[in-house]
């Protein structure tokens, strides 16, 4: 398979939805950016053809996008065939452009009815997701080879069931553990269906991974906290994929342990969403036991999300992901900034690490930059700018940023059949980069 070089989006963030759990969440003022509903996102629903036509202009050979469950199944068991036909047109259009689709079934949003009937905590969620996946497999399965079932299950669980920041807004370890069990089962069943429909289908998760560091390097307690975070956030899912056994624990909150024996065979690749590093510090008393911070020791400046830019961590994370014993796809990586020079630095530095890892023999099969367009950034609303193309939200006009050209030139180097070439960082006007941490 050729190395996949592309960009990633998610349906809700670029086109909104008439009614799902997020539209309800926004209305109940749960966002940091209050009073700014997602609406039509970046207006992509009406502009999908011209947006997708941008892909060949940035040298992409693949495109990761998601489906909106609430559009496809607006009421339980009732499919909207026109929504499926729309997704089919997208896949066919990509085919005509020579772009490999990578389809995410679930990227954070749910139909409201899904939560009304109990959501991920209830075993019924598995059959609901299976039925949704079956409808999608019927509509698109013959044309799509690469699938992400669930985007960032661990983030969804921590944000939605432990921190109460995302729908359904709970704070309960036992609810999170029940949801985890059902999500893994839903992934496994959806994978079986997709492969039945198309034997060449390959299925994975998109797993958000962070680099973790103790806030006080000399504090044994901070180090233990960083190790616990690594296990809960990064490793638990990888180890479950490798071993068929899930061990998930949050110090002071609870521990879940259950077999997932079909998970290893149901998972063909590990998708990695990598953005940053966090520093962890144990709290003197009370809950939660720790606090996390984005620091900026290298002085690069935090991003507009307040995140550290830490390309060195990308190397370690790629190695960690490969430890699951499956090929790795970088399903997201990007930076929120209005200063496009910073985006270009970010791209160059992460592309260098990527190339270094590939040459060292780590089985990495693709890279997807987040994102094609500026879009609705969940709790943050519209202020973070992640796009290779800028969006004017008053008119929905798109403007190409110089980083789009850099993306294309890095792609030409990375995809070059001449393996001695590698990333031509100097041609791209880049700066040199120190040895990554191993
Ligand atoms: C990831 C999400 C994606 C986007 C980026 C910035 O965690 O998967 O939707 O919000 O962060």
DSSP 310-345: -HHHHHHHHHHHHTTSS-EEEEE-----S-HHHHHH
Q: Which atom of ligand 1 is nearest to the CA of 336?
A: 6
**CA torsion, points 313, 315, 321, 325, in degrees to nearest 10?**
-160
Ligand 1 midpoint to CA 13 (Å) = 9
Which ligand 1 atom is nearest residue 305's CA? 6
Residue 207 alpha carbon to ligand 1 centre in Å: 11
Query: Which of 32, 152, 158, 346 to mutate for ligand 1's pocket (most ligand atoms within 8 Å of CB)?
Result: 152
Question: Which of left, alpha, beta for 422 (phi over 0: left; psi -120 to 50: alpha)?
Answer: left
Closest atom, ligand 1, to C-alpha of 334? 6
Cβ density class 181-218: b for 16+ within 10 Å, e for less: bbbbbbbbbbbbbbbebbeebbbbbbbbbbbbbbbeee
SS3 137: helix
**What is the whole-number distance in angstroms between the Cα of residue 116 and the centre of ligand 1?**
25
Both tokens of residue 99?
């772009």
pLDDT in tens, the chain (438 residues): 689 999 999 999 999 999 999 999 999 887 787 778 999 999 999 999 999 999 999 999 999 999 999 999 999 999 999 999 999 999 999 999 999 999 999 999 999 999 999 999 999 999 999 999 999 999 999 999 999 999 999 999 999 999 999 999 999 999 999 999 999 999 999 999 999 999 999 999 999 999 999 999 999 999 999 999 999 999 999 999 999 999 999 988 999 999 999 999 999 999 999 999 999 999 877 667 789 999 999 999 999 999 999 999 999 999 999 999 999 999 999 999 999 999 999 999 999 999 999 999 999 999 999 999 999 999 999 999 999 999 999 999 999 999 999 999 999 998 876 544 444 433 333 322 222 333
- The structure tokens 């370890």 sit at 173
What is the Å distance from ligand 1's center to 218 Cα? Answer: 32
The CA distances from residue 436 to 200, 318, 357, 421, in Å, are 36, 12, 10, 20
Which residue minimizes the CA distance to atom 4 of ligand 1? Answer: 377
For residue 51, which of 400, 370, 384, 331 has the smallest C-alpha distance?
Answer: 400
- The CA 331 to ligand 1 mean position distance, Å, reads 10
> CA-to-CA distance for 438 and 312, rounded, in angstroms?
9
**Is the Cβ–Cβ distance between 357 and 373 less than 8 Å?**
no
Phi first, then psi, for residue 37 (nearest 5°) are: -70, 160
The binding-site residues of ligand 1, defined as CB within 6 angstroms of any ligand atom, are 10, 13, 151-152, 155, 208, 273, 332, 370, 377-378, 386
Contact of 31 with 379, CB cutoff 8 Å? yes
Our mutation pick for probing the ligand 1 site, out of 102, 370, 374, 387, counting the most ligand atoms within 8 A of Cβ, is 370
* CA nearest to 145, candidates 63, 201, 61: 201
Give the closest residue (by CA) to ligand 1 atom 9: 10
């Amino acid at each position: 398979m050729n190395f996949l070089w592309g960009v990633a989006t998610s349906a809700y963030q670029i086109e909104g939805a008439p009614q799902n759990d997020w539209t309800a969440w926004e209305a109940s003022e749960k966002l940091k950016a209050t009073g700014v509903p997602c609406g039509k996102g970046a207006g992509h629903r009406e502009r999908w053809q011209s947006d997708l036509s941008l892909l060949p202009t940035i040298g992409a050979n693949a495109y990761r996008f998601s489906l909106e469950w609430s559009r496809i199944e607006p009421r339980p068991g009732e499919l909207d065939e026109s929504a499926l036909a729309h997704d089919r047109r997208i896949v066919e259009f990509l085919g005509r452009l020579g772009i490999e689709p990578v389809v995410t079934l679930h990227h954070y949003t749910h139909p409201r009815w899904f939560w009304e009937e109990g959501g991920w905590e209830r075993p019924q969620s598995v059959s609901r997701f299976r039925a949704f996946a079956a409808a999608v497999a019927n509509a698109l399965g013959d044309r799509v080879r690469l699938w992400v079932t669930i985007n960032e299950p661990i983030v969804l669980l921590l944000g939605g069931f432990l921190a109460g920041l995302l729908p359904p807004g709970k704070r309960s370890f036992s609810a999170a553990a029940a949801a985890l069990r059902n999500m893994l089962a839903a992934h496994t069943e959806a994978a079986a269906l997709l492969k039945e429909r198309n034997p060449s289908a390959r299925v994975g998760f998109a797993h958000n991974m962070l680099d973790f560091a103790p806030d006080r390097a000399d504090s044994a307690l901070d180090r233990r906290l960083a190790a616990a975070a690594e296990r809960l956030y990064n490793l638990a899912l990888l180890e479950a994929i490798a071993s068929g056994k899930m061990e998930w624990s949050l110090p002071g909150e609870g521990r879940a342990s259950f077999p997932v024996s079909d998970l290893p065979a149901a998972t063909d690749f590990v998708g990695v969403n990598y953005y940053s590093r966090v520093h962890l510090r144990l709290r003197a008393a009370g809950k939660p036991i720790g606090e996390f911070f984005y620091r900026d020791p290298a002085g690069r400046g935090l991003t507009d999300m307040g995140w550290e830019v830490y390309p060195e961590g990308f190397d370690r994370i790629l190695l960690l992901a490969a430890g699951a014993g499956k090929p790795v796809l970088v399903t997201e990586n990007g930076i929120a900034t209005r200063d496009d020079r910073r985006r270009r630095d970010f791209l160059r530095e992460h592309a260098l690490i990527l190339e270094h890892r590939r040459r060292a023999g780590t089985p990495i099969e693709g890279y997807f930059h987040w994102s094609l367009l500026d879009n609705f950034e969940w709790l943050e609303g519209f202020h973070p700018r992640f796009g290779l193309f800028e969006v004017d939200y008053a008119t929905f006009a798109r403007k190409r940023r110089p980083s789009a050209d850099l993306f294309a030139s890095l792609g030409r180097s990375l995809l070059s059949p001449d393996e001695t070439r590698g990333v031509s960082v100097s041609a791209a006007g880049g700066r040199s980069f120190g040895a990554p941490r191993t």
